[in-house]
């Protein structure tokens, strides 16, 4: 654990000192100000709109951090050979993978916490301005859980990003693959639902789609924004299973990354 | 033997079917306390050997051990200090943070690292930039930080890949002094270079590598006794090898 | 890799694989019943703002909204009133974002009036498509059909069909139907033809059944009406009831109305169904 933590710490520091992350956080701050104006443009359900926007902002900023910084931090290790300063130490390959991952998710976690704070602030203001539209069962607890699940979704994408960077020599391709995996993960459930209602698709296509649902993460399972927005009752059992699903998926991807990276030659 | 390399071979894929050996059946042993110079033209396979010693790449055949531990075991790297050719670091960290990382991963005591950092940075004339981010450093300063990182845990074996490249004469002098210091302290130094005068001055033994094969391995004193010194011998050996074994004419080694 | 490490890694892998497998199946099951998704995208966005937000991606957003609606319908057999409202809203948004898209009006026509009784909403979407797709006669045809079938407003239907028949490439029968719908004579025949035409171009089995039912009803009513006309020719007055036609042997039986209520005779001598 010691070695992993040491690597996580320098990865985190390297990440948060980058100007890009400051830019992204600043952008998120501006968006939460915009949220105040934007929500006023709606005629009804104001607070729901502001919760929606606030939580979406967290996801978007988190994705921006992964795509603009995370992948860069990972691939630069190979492209610039900064990895030598790490793996020339008594650090095993699996420790490298986990340490790097831990550092990245620390960085993302801190960002999510900060932006989530902005979002909560703007929602609070809207609710104060338009108390009539606050859903009767609105709960900040569910808002928090929804934030956690956004974070879980980002953790999944990060694990995939790391998997692809440790497999590909080009960071550009890794970025593309991660983006594809993200879009597939967001939409695979809808597509499958749509097809389950109609009969005119070939068996092959059905099997293919079923396989896709097993390979890619169902990221829409981590999307609780609507529940948070309307203050709907949160089903504990399905929430726990969704969390376990995410954890299981991340665990698998990390182990696969370790397997791939063990074999990789860092020439 | 502190470094033991036996029948080491590394093939690189060249195109779809053909393969070329970067290291060809290399056997080499380096004793504790020795300063060993690793010599060879560009592309001779020096870096490949070093990367195998650090387990960055895996040998196609043969074994390599450090202090009797196979290099595949991360423990083997506990007693190695490594300086890559053209080192790069995380830009936004300070010298202190990087050296702290190096010391802590070698399981040194935190206070001890602090002392060691100050001592090394003073020695390498970097004390004034201790808390500055690496991105503000010049190339020579980065090279010296790389050396500091290699030496932070006072390793038993020091593996330096082209330690003099990118340094001005003053910097080279610093590095040379450090290597001599290590020899005095009974440390083992294994370094590659093509600057022959440095090798002549610093090394107890040299190995000359061409196309992955060891052409010569022996003491520097015996070399210097012969006419022309190391430079002449190096060129002769490489040219001879090219002519006889590879059918090529090399104007200059 | 040392053996010990490999086995640790491998057993962790198996552990996570099992965890993932079970959770995946459980999550898939649990989410079958959940349909929050629909509320997300049917957010109460004023269309103009939606359009501004979509920027250069209006087409994609329209496709996405449509996909949402379609996927919801694919998974939900019995949506409630509120959910139908959401579907109508999604289709309306999609149609505003991309009024040229054929899929939108086809889905709207295929679903909203038949299942959700949202006739006005359907006609609004169709009219938008009709304005933009000036080369396409079908939206106009559907508008006419909705007036005819759901509102039983023959003159509005006739006007819509007439307009649709002017589009280059429209089937010539549209004009015929339009003119005959407008006149009282021949209404039944044109209704039957119209329904048959719609029946041919429909793929949905449910709608085909409904159309067939209506065709049967209209055909039966047509036969009864002919008998009524014959009666009034013969006796110089309208029959008091349909049973009178039976008594005078003008018809052999009163057919069963497929809508489960009897055919009746209005005061002005029209057969209602």
More confident call, C137 vs B253: C137
Which residues numbered 97-136 in B keep a CB inside 8 Å of some CB on A?
97-98, 101-102, 104-107, 133
The mean pLDDT value for A180-205 works out to 78
Tell how strand B69-70 and strand C264-265 pair up.
unpaired
Residue A94 has pLDDT above 60, yes or no: yes
From chain C, the residues in CB contact with A227 under 8 A are 36
Q: How far is A17 from chain C (nearest CA, A)?
A: 33
Does one domain contain both C128 and C41? yes
How far is CA B143 from each of CA A267, B140, B166, B175, C38, rounded to the nearest angstrom?
A: 20, 5, 7, 10, 59
Q: Does B77 touch chain A (CB under 8 A)?
A: yes
Does one domain contain both C209 and C129? no
| Integer Cα distance of C124 and C107 in angstroms | 14
Cβ pair C1:B72 closer than 8 A: yes
The tokens of C10 are what? 């491998």
DSSP string, C188-245: HHHHHHHHHHHHHH---HHHHHHHHHHHHHHHHHHHHHHHHHHHHHHHSS--SSHHHH
| Integer Cα distance of B146 and B151 in angstroms | 9
Return the half-sphere exposure (C-beta side, CA atoms, 13 A cut-off) of residue C107: 23
Domain tally, chain C: 2
The tokens of A120 are what? 């909560």
| Integer Cα distance of A234 and B82 in angstroms | 54
Residue of chain B nearest A92, judged by CA positions: B74
Residue C186 lies inside a defined structural domain of this protein: no
Residue B81 has pLDDT above 90, yes or no: yes
Residue C152 lies inside a defined structural domain of this protein: no
Q: What is the 3-state secondary structure (H, E, C) of chain B?
A: CCEEEEEEEEEEECCCCCEEEEEEEEEEEECCCCEEEEECCCCCCHHHHHHHHCCCCCCCEEEEEECCEECCCHHHHHHEEEECCCCCCCCCCEHHHHHHHHHHHCCCCHHHHHHHHHHHHHHCCCHHHCCCEHHHCCHHHHHHHHHHHHHCCCCCEEEEECCCCCCCHHHHHHHHHHHHHHHHCCCEEEEEECCHHHHHHHCCEEEEEECCEEEEEEEHHHHHHCCCHHHHHHHHHHHHHHHHHHCCCCCCC
Residue B174 has pLDDT above 50, yes or no: yes
Which of the listed residues C97, C116, C133 is the one where a domain comes to its end?
Answer: C133
User: Is the torsion defined by CA of B1, B2, B5, B6 positive or negative?
Assistant: positive
From chain A, the residues in CB contact with B102 under 8 A are 85, 89
The helix (H) or strand (E) run that includes residue C272 is: strand C271-272
* A202 alpha-carbon distance from chain centroid: 33
Contact A104, A70 (CB under 8 A): yes
Residue C258 lies inside a defined structural domain of this protein: yes
Contact A262, C1 (CB under 8 A): yes
The mean pLDDT value for A185-200 works out to 73
Backbone angles phi, psi at B206, to 5 degrees: -130, 150
| Integer Cα distance of C239 and C227 in angstroms | 10
Count CB neighbours of A210 within 10 A: 10
Give the pLDDT of residue C36.
47
The tokens of C128 are what? 């938008």
Does one domain contain both C124 and C212? no
User: Is the torsion defined by CA of B116, B122, B123, B125 positive or negative?
Assistant: positive
Cβ pair A17:B80 closer than 8 A: no
The dihedral formed by the CA atoms of A117, A118, A119 and A120, expressed in degrees to the nearest 10: 50
The mean pLDDT value for B99-110 works out to 92
Cβ pair A258:C9 closer than 8 A: yes
| Integer Cα distance of B90 and A155 in angstroms | 23
**CB proximity list for A190: less than 8 A, separation 6 or greater:** A220, C37, C67, C68, C71
Whole-model pTM: value is: 0.77
> Residue B38's beta-bridge partner residues?
B192, B207
Q: Among residues C133, C145, C147, which one has the least CA distance to residue C104? A: C133
The tokens of C177 are what? 């139907």
The helix (H) or strand (E) run that includes residue C262 is: none
How far is CA C135 from each of CA C58, C108, C166, rounded to the nearest angstrom?
A: 22, 19, 10
DSSP string, A185-253: HHHHHHHHHHHHT-S-S-HHHHHHHHHHHHHS--GGGG--HHHHHHTPPP-HHHHHHHHHHHHHHHHHH
Provide the angle, in degrees to the nearest 10, between the axes of the packed helices A171-196 and A203-215. 130
| Integer Cα distance of A18 and A21 in angstroms | 6
Chain C positions touching chain B (beta carbons under 8 Å):
1-2
Residue B146 has pLDDT above 50, yes or no: yes
Query: Which conformational region is residue C171 in: left (phi greater than 0), alpha (psi within -120 to 50 degrees), or beta?
Result: beta
Residue C149 has pLDDT above 60, yes or no: yes
The mean pLDDT value for B76-88 works out to 90
Contact A144, A68 (CB under 8 A): no
The tokens of C218 are what? 């209209």
Give the pLDDT of residue B252.
47
Which residues numbered 38-57 in C keep a CB inside 8 Å of some CB on A?
39-40, 43-46, 49
Q: Among residues C228, C256, C135, C145, which one has the least CA distance to residue C193? A: C145
* A43 alpha-carbon distance from chain centroid: 31
Query: Which conformational region is residue B138 in: left (phi greater than 0), alpha (psi within -120 to 50 degrees), or beta?
Result: beta
Q: Which of B80, B84, B92 sits opposite A14 (nearest CB)?
A: B92
| Integer Cα distance of B32 and A202 in angstroms | 70
Which of the listed residues C84, C117, C133 is the one where a domain comes to its end?
Answer: C133
Tell how strand C264-265 and strand C271-272 pair up.
antiparallel
Confidence of residue C5 (pLDDT cuts 50, 70, 90): confident
Give the pLDDT of residue A43.
59
Residue C228 has pLDDT above 80, yes or no: yes
Confidence of residue C1 (pLDDT cuts 50, 70, 90): low
Q: What is the 3-state secondary structure (H, E, C) of A8-69?
A: HHHHHHHHHCCHHHHHHHHHHHHHHHHHHHHHCCCCCCHHHHHHHHHHHHHHHHHHHHHHHH
| Integer Cα distance of A10 and B93 in angstroms | 8
The tokens of A180 are what? 């594809």
Residue A152 has pLDDT above 90, yes or no: yes
Q: How far is A249 from chain B (nearest CA, A)?
A: 28
Give the pLDDT of residue A234.
81
Does one domain contain both C129 and C49? yes
Give the pLDDT of residue A38.
72
Tell how strand B3-13 and strand B19-30 pair up.
antiparallel
| Integer Cα distance of A207 and A199 in angstroms | 14
The mean pLDDT value for B155-165 works out to 90
| Integer Cα distance of B157 and B60 in angstroms | 24
Provide the angle, in degrees to the nearest 10, between the axes of the packed helices C102-111 and C81-97. 160
Contact A135, A35 (CB under 8 A): no
The mean pLDDT value for C113-135 works out to 88
Q: Which of A11, A81, A265 sits opposite B58 (nearest CB)?
A: A265
The mean pLDDT value for C57-69 works out to 77
| Integer Cα distance of B153 and B105 in angstroms | 9
Which of the listed residues C85, C103, C133 is the one where a domain comes to its end?
Answer: C133
For chain B, report the end-to-end CA distance as a whole number of angstroms. 31
**CB proximity list for A34: less than 8 A, separation 6 or greater:** none
- In the three-class reduction of DSSP (H, G, I as helix; E, B as strand; rest coil), residue C2 is classed as coil
Cβ pair B57:A90 closer than 8 A: no
Contact A101, A28 (CB under 8 A): no
Residue A96 has pLDDT above 50, yes or no: yes
The tokens of C212 are what? 């067939």
Cβ pair C9:A232 closer than 8 A: no
Count CB neighbours of C234 within 10 A: 10
Q: Which domain holds residue C217?
A: 202-273
Count CB neighbours of A132 within 10 A: 8
| Integer Cα distance of A70 and A21 in angstroms | 10
Q: Which of A256-265, B37-46, B92-101, C188-197 has the lowest mean pLDDT?
A: C188-197
The mean pLDDT value for A233-252 works out to 91
The mean pLDDT value for A78-82 works out to 89
Residue A110 has pLDDT above 50, yes or no: yes
Q: Which of C16, C27, C74 sits opposite A252 (nearest CB)?
A: C16
From chain C, the residues in CB contact with A242 under 8 A are 23, 27
Does one domain contain both C41 and C127? yes
Residue C215 has pLDDT above 60, yes or no: yes
From chain C, the residues in CB contact with B71 under 8 A are none
Backbone angles phi, psi at C255, to 5 degrees: -65, 155
Residue C49 lies inside a defined structural domain of this protein: yes
Q: Give all domains of chain B, ordered by start, each with its CATH number.
A: 3-246 (3.40.50.300)
Give the pLDDT of residue A117.
92
């Amino acid at each position: 654990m010691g070695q992993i933590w040491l690597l996580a710490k320098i990865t985190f520091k390297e990440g948060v000192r980058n100007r890009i992350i400051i830019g992204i956080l600043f952008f998120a701050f501006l968006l939460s100000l915009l949220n105040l104006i934007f929500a006023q443009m709606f005629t009804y359900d104001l607070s729901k709109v502001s919760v929606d926007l606030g939580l979406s902002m967290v996801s978007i900023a988190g994705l921006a951090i992964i795509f603009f910084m995370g992948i860069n931090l990972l691939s630069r290790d190979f492209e610039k050979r900064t990895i030598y300063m790490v793996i020339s130490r008594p650090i095993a390959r699996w420790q490298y993978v986990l340490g790097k991952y831990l550092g990245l998710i620390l960085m993302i976690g801190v960002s999510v916490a900060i932006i989530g704070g902005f979002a909560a602030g703007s929602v609070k203001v809207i609710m104060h301005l338009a108390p009539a539209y606050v859903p009767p069962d609105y709960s900040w607890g569910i808002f928090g859980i929804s934030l956690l699940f956004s974070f879980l979704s980002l953790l999944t994408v990060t694990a995939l990003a790391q998997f692809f960077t440790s497999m590909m020599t080009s960071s550009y391709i890794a970025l593309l693959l991660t983006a594809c995996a993200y879009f597939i993960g967001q939409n695979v459930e809808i597509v499958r639902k749509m097809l389950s209602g109609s009969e005119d698709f070939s068996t092959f296509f059905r099997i293919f789609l079923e396989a896709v649902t097993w390979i890619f993460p169902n990221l829409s399972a981590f999307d609780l924004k609507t529940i948070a927005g309307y203050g709907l009752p949160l089903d504990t059992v399905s929430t726990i299973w969704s969390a376990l699903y995410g954890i299981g998926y991340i665990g698998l991807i990390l182990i696969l990354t370790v397997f791939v990276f063990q074999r990789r030659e860092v020439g | 033997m502190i470094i033991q390399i036996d029948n080491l071979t590394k093939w690189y894929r060249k195109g779809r079917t053909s393969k070329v050996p970067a290291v060809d059946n290399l056997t080499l042993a380096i004793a504790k306390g020795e300063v060993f110079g690793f010599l060879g033209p560009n592309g001779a396979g020096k870096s490949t050997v070093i990367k195998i010693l650090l387990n960055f790449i895996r040998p196609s055949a043969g074994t390599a051990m450090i202090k009797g531990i196979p290099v595949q075991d991360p423990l083997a790297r506990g007693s190695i200090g490594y300086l890559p050719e053209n080192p790069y670091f995380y830009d936004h960290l300070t010298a202190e943070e990087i050296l702290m990382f190096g010391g802590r991963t070698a399981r040194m005591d935190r206070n001890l690292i602090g002392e060691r950092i100050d001592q090394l940075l003073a020695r390498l004339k970097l004390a004034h930039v201790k808390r500055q981010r690496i991105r503000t450093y010049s190339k020579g300063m980065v090279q010296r930080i790389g050396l500091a990182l290699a030496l932070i845990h006072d390793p038993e074996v020091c593996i330096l890949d082209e330690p003099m490249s990118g340094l001005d004469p003053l910097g080279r002098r610093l590095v040379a002094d450090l290597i001599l210091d290590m020899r005095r302290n009974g440390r083992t130094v294994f370094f590659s270079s093509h600057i022959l005068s440095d090798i002549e001055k610093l090394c107890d033994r040299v190995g000359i590598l061409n196309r992955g094969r060891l052409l010569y391995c022996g003491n520097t004193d015996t070399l210097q006794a012969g006419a022309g010194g190391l430079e002449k011998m190096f060129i002769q050996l490489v040219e001879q090898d090219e002519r006889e074994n590879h059918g090529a004419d090399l104007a200059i080694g | 890799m040392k053996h010990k490490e490999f086995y640790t890694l491998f057993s962790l892998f198996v552990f996570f694989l099992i965890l993932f497998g079970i959770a995946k199946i459980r999550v898939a099951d649990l989410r079958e019943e959940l349909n929050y998704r629909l509320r997300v995208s049917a957010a109460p966005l004023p269309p103009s703002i939606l359009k501004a937000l979509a920027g250069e991606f209006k087409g994609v957003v329209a496709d996405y909204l449509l996909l949402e609606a379609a996927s919801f319908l694919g998974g939900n057999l019995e949506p409630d009133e509120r959910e139908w409202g959401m579907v109508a809203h999604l289709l309306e948004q999609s149609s505003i974002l991309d009024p040229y898209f054929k899929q939108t009006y086809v889905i709207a026509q295929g679903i909203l009036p038949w299942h959700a009784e949202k006739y006005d909403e359907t006609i609004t979407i169709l009219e938008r498509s009709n304005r933009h797709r000036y080369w396409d006669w079908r939206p106009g045809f559907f508008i006419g059909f909705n007036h005819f079938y759901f509102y039983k407003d023959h003159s509005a239907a006739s006007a819509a069909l007439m307009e649709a028949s002017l589009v280059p490439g429209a089937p010539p029968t549209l004009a015929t139907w339009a003119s005959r719908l407008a006149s009282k004579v021949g209404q039944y025949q044109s209704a039957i033809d119209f329904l048959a035409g719609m029946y041919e171009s429909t793929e949905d089995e449910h709608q085909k059944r409904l159309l067939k039912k209506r065709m049967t009803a209209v055909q039966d009513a047509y036969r009864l009406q002919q008998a009524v006309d014959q009666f009034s020719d013969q006796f110089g007055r309208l029959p008091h009831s349909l049973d009178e036609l039976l008594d005078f042997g003008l018809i052999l039986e009163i057919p069963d109305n497929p809508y489960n209520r009897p055919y009746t005779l209005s005061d002005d001598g029209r057969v209602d169904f």
